[in-house]
Amino acid sequence: MFGQRAVSVEVCLFEQPRDFLQVVVLLREELQPHFVHDEWDGVSPVAHDLIIDPPHSHSSVADMGKDYYRILGITREASKADICRAYKKQALVWHPQICKEDPATALHNFCEISEAYEVLSDDYKRAFYDKYGENVLKEGFFSDGELKGGYHFKGNPDEIFEAFFGTHNVYSALLERDVDNVGSLLGFSFGSQNYRAVRKPEDLTVSVECTLVELYCGCSKTVSFERVALNPDGVTTKVTSCRKEIEVKPGMQEGQELVFPGEGNELVGMAPSALVFRVKQLPHTQYRRKGDDLIYTCHIKLLAALCSEPLTIKTLDSRNLAVAMSEIVSQDTVKKVEGEGMPRACGKGSGDLYITFKIEFPRHLDDGQRKALRQVLAG
């Protein structure tokens, strides 16, 4: 087929697309002048395409189109995990909602990194791009009757972002005033531009129900909860069930919190939030709490109220507290017992106990009892 001229071609593996193209150009220059039209019979379409009109044979190696690796700031040897990490970091910098550049520049760069990620994260597209470059990837060429390549970026960076992060609203609570430079936060240096970092996810707050007895005496509780955690790939998330033992100290109050930094929810590109356990006090049948003080409602009979009989009260730690009464008790009487309230959370002493009264009147009196009662009270 080649007439009197013999051509030897050494088959080799190409480390870079530019190596491949240089050899193709040399083949074209060497072989094309020695071919006549009918000598192409039996030559495969791929060989025909490569020799007669190889990809970028009329262009310089630099004219292969966009360098997706450079756009993401990675090398051609980057793994899939490296590609994901690079996209994650740059998407959090160039997203138009948080980028400090003008909207047009932000959107352009956001689209560029989205396109680069869409190509390089797909094994087939990446292999084709590595071999032929961006232009052929998008234009394609015919081989064995099939169009190879033909990729087109759809201009959908928000869809790529949502598919990657699992949400389109990672930035619902965007910025804080005093935050680090994103370059430092994410390990990149973007020309020392003053980008602001997204803040942590919202703290994971778990309500911990405690009885008044538990808050009076203190206790240990094992609390079950769910948190959002990153998968080993560092990109996707899952909901995990967790258990943690916490110490409820004597004197803790409604709404008081136990905070564990970095043990809350995790989202890609953000530091983990705090895990917060918030005390919720359950009602007690006899005691009410007001700060460090306790209010106890004592039910007594009319006779005991009139005779100022001493009281015996069961405390929250199961002691029998004797309280002397020196005056007749009415519905408005309040008896103060110092130091018998809630322990102070600071560990210094206790509040006070205030006793209020609810007097129980007899439901029935016979004539004799009424007469005797009149004689006593009338005097």
- Give residue 369's pLDDT: 86
Give the span between the Cα atoms of 104 and 110, in whole angstroms.
10
Examine the domain organization and report whether 241 and 318 are in the same domain: no
Q: Could you give the CA distance from residue 305 to residue 245 in angstroms, rounded to a whole number?
A: 47
Tokens 């965007």 correspond to: 174
Q: Are residues 301 and 232 in the same domain?
A: no
Whether 70 and 177 share a structural domain: yes
Helix (H, G, I), strand (E, B) or coil at 41: coil
Report yes or no on 374 lying in a domain: no
pLDDT at 95: 81
Same domain, 70 and 43: no
Domain boundary among 281, 313, 347: 281
Same domain, 218 and 314: no
- Identify the pLDDT of residue 28: 46
Q: Please list the ranges in the chain whose pLDDT falls under 70.
A: 1-63, 141-149, 166-200, 269, 379
Of 238, 256, 281, which residue is a domain's last?
Answer: 281
Predicted pLDDT at 164: 78
- Say what the pLDDT of residue 180 is: 37
Instruction: For residues 379 and 364, give the distance between their C-alpha atoms in angstroms, rounded to a whole number.
Output: 23
237 and 250, same domain (yes or no):
yes
Q: What is the pTM of this model?
A: 0.49
Task: Quote the number of domains for the chain.
Answer: 4
Residues 216 and 267 in one domain: yes
Q: Residue 172: what pLDDT?
A: 38
Structure tokens at 100: 């400090």
Within a domain: 199: no
Does residue 264 lie in a domain region? yes
CATH no. for residue 235?
A: 2.60.260.20
Secondary-structure breakdown of the chain: helix, strand, coil percentages, each rounded to the nearest 5: 35, 25, 45
- Rounded-to-integer distance, Cα 100 and Cα 125, Å: 32
Is the residue at 182 inside a domain?
yes
Residue 274 and residue 293 in one domain: no
Q: Which domain holds residue 121?
A: 65-186
Which of 215, 250, 281 finishes a domain? 281
Q: Is the residue at 369 inside a domain?
A: no
CB atoms < 10 A from the CB of 196, how many? 18
User: Does residue 111 lie in a domain region?
Assistant: yes
Determine contact, residues 133/65, Cβ cutoff 8 Å: yes
Pair (227, 153) in one structural domain:
no
Same domain, 42 and 73: no
Identify whether residues 42 and 126 lie together within a single domain: no
Residue 2 lies in a domain: no
Domain co-membership, 247 together with 219:
yes
